[in-house]
Amino acid sequence: MKSSDLFTQAKTLIPGGVSSPVRAIKPYPFYVESAAGSRLATVDGTDLIDCCLGYGPLILGHAHPEIREAIDRQLEKGWLYGTPSPLEIDLARIVTGDHPGIDMVRFVSSGSEATMAAIRLARGYTGRQDIIKVEGGFHGAHDAVLVKAGSGATTLGVPDSAGVIADLVAHTRQVPYNDLDALETVLSDNDDVAAFILEPIMGNIGPVLPDDGYLAAVREITAAHDVLLILDEVITGYRIGIGGAEVHYGVRPDIATFGKIIGGGLPIGAFAGRRDIMELIAPAGPVYQAGTFNGNPASLAAGVATLRYLHDHPEIYRRLDDATRAIEEVAVDARRGSFVKMGSLFKHFFRDSAPRNYREVKECDAEAFSRFWKAMLDRGIFLPPSQFETNFLSTAHSKQDIEEVADAYGSCLFA
C-alpha cells in the first residue's frame, strides 16, 4: 500500500494520522518500509538519504551491525525483568566516567521523563518552587516546560498547550538564550528559583549556538545565586563529542539529562548529577521517581554498544565535522540565508545572519525553507521537515552520500 493510502487510514485511527506532531508532513508523510545505514526505503519505492536520523539518536546510522548484534544478544536473554540487570551498571559507569560533573545516574524511558524528574529533583533539593528555562528551549512534552514563548521572566508563564493549567506553568520563568543580563535580572529579583534548565546548544530550533563564554557565565551566575544548573544534553550528549557540552564547553552542571544517543536508537532517557543531589532520589531519598521500563535491558544493551563503539572510534567526531563542513562550503555561497554547524549538527537558516535566540529564529522565511525542503526531498534527501529542527549526519553517511547532499544543497539553495 502507498503512503497516501496508509495516511488516509491512519487519520481515522490516530489523531492527525501521526504518533508525534513533527511527522505530519503535508500533504501526507512518507511511510518507511525499512532503514539501513544512511538510507530510508519508503513503501512507495523511494530510497532517501536520511539527515533526520530519528531526530538525533542514530549517530551510527540505521541498523548498525554491531548495535544490532548487541540487541539480538539481549533479546535472546529476554527484554524485561522488573529487577536490576548488570547492564545498568555498565551504562552508568560509562556515562559517569565521561562526565566529570556526574557521579550517579537514573535511567528512564525518554528524554521527557528525564527532564521532568530533573526538575522535581532540583525542587526537592533546594526546597524552592520556580524554574527558569530558555525561551524556545525544548525539554520534552510535560506540563512544566510547555510554556508559551514570549512569556518573559518577569511575568508568570503562560501554557503553550490546551490542557496545561495555568498553575502548573506559573512557576516557570523564561529568559532569551545568549542573554546573561536577563538571567542575572530574574535571579536577582526572585529568591524562589530552584534551577535554570537549558540546552547548551539549542537543538530543537536550530542549532543555535552559544556565544563565546555564554555557558561559562551561566555557570558562574547560577552558582553565585545558589541556583542549580540543569544541562539538558539529550541532543548534545555524545553528539558533539564524548562528554557532550559539559566537556566541550567546560561547564559543569549540577544535574544533566540525557536520551537519544545513549539508547542507541531504542527508547531511553537518563538524569544524572552530583552524588549529594542524586541521593535524594527514591528509594535512597524522598524525591519520587519510578517506571516499569526504567533501565530496560534492550535499550541499555544498544546504549552500551553504541557508547563503546564511540569510545573505540573517537576519530568519528572529526570525520562528522569534516562532512558538515563540506556541505557548509557549498551553502555559504547561497544568495540568502546562513548556514550553521556544530560537529554533525547543521542547518541552513533562511535569515541573513545566524540566529542567536528564539526570536531571531522566528524571523526566518519559513516558506522559503518549505520550498527548499521539498526540493531536497525531490532530490532524494530527507531533512527534518521544519525550519526549526536540526539536521543530523551519521557515521554511516559515505563520502558519496555527503557529496550528494552537498550537491543537492547547491542546486536547491541556488534554485
Ligand X SMILES: *Cc1c(COP(=O)(O)O)cnc(C)c1O
The helix-helix angle for 180-189 and 214-224 (nearest 10°) equals: 10
User: Cell digits for 376?
Assistant: 531536497
Judged by beta carbon, residue 110 or residue 387, the one nearer ligand X is 110
User: Cell digits for 216?
Assistant: 561559562
Selected binder of ligand X within 139, 239, 341, 397 (CB under 6 A): 139
Selected binder of ligand X within 3, 38, 74, 112 (CB under 6 A): 112
User: Cell digits for 278?
Assistant: 542524586
Nearest distance, CB of residue 200 and ligand X, angstroms: 9
Stretch that binds ligand X, among 21-29, 99-107, 122-130, 138-146 (CB under 6 A): 138-146
Among 111, 197, 199, 206, CA closest to 157: 197
Stretch that binds ligand X, among 23-31, 46-54, 105-113, 125-133 (CB under 6 A): 105-113
Among 256, 273, 270, CA closest to 299: 270
Nearest distance, CB of residue 245 and ligand X, angstroms: 11
Q: Which residue has the cell 522535581?
A: 120
Selected binder of ligand X within 269, 273, 295, 337 (CB under 6 A): 269
Nearest distance, CB of residue 117 and ligand X, angstroms: 12
Residue 3's SS3 state is helix
Residue 191's SS3 state is coil
Judged by beta carbon, residue 125 or residue 138, the one nearer ligand X is 138
Provide the mask over 178-207, with x wherever binding to ligand X is found by CB under 6 A and - wherever it is not.
Answer: ---------------------x---xx---
For position 235 contacting ligand X by CB under 6 A, the verdict is yes
For position 172 contacting ligand X by CB under 6 A, the verdict is no
Selected binder of ligand X within 232, 254, 360, 401 (CB under 6 A): 232
Of residues 289-318, those binding ligand X (CB under 6 A): none
Nearest distance, CB of residue 17 and ligand X, angstroms: 19
Nearest distance, CB of residue 263 and ligand X, angstroms: 9
Give the DSSP H or E segment for 108: strand 104-108
135 half-sphere exposure, CB direction, 13 A CA radius: 25
CA of 185: how far to CAs of 102, 302, 398, in Å? 29, 44, 48
14: DSSP letter: S
Judged by beta carbon, residue 159 or residue 200, the one nearer ligand X is 200
Judged by beta carbon, residue 159 or residue 206, the one nearer ligand X is 206
For position 234 contacting ligand X by CB under 6 A, the verdict is yes
Residue number of the CB closest to ligand X reads: 111
Nearest distance, CB of residue 100 and ligand X, angstroms: 21
Residue 184's SS3 state is helix
> What is the C-alpha radius of gyration for the chain, rounded to an integer number of angstroms?
21
CA of 272: how far to CAs of 100, 198, 232, 267, in Å? 11, 15, 10, 17
Q: Calculate ∠ Cα 167-170-176, nearest 5°.
A: 150
Residues forming the site for ligand X (CB under 6 A): 110-112, 115, 138-140, 199, 203-204, 232, 234-235, 259, 269
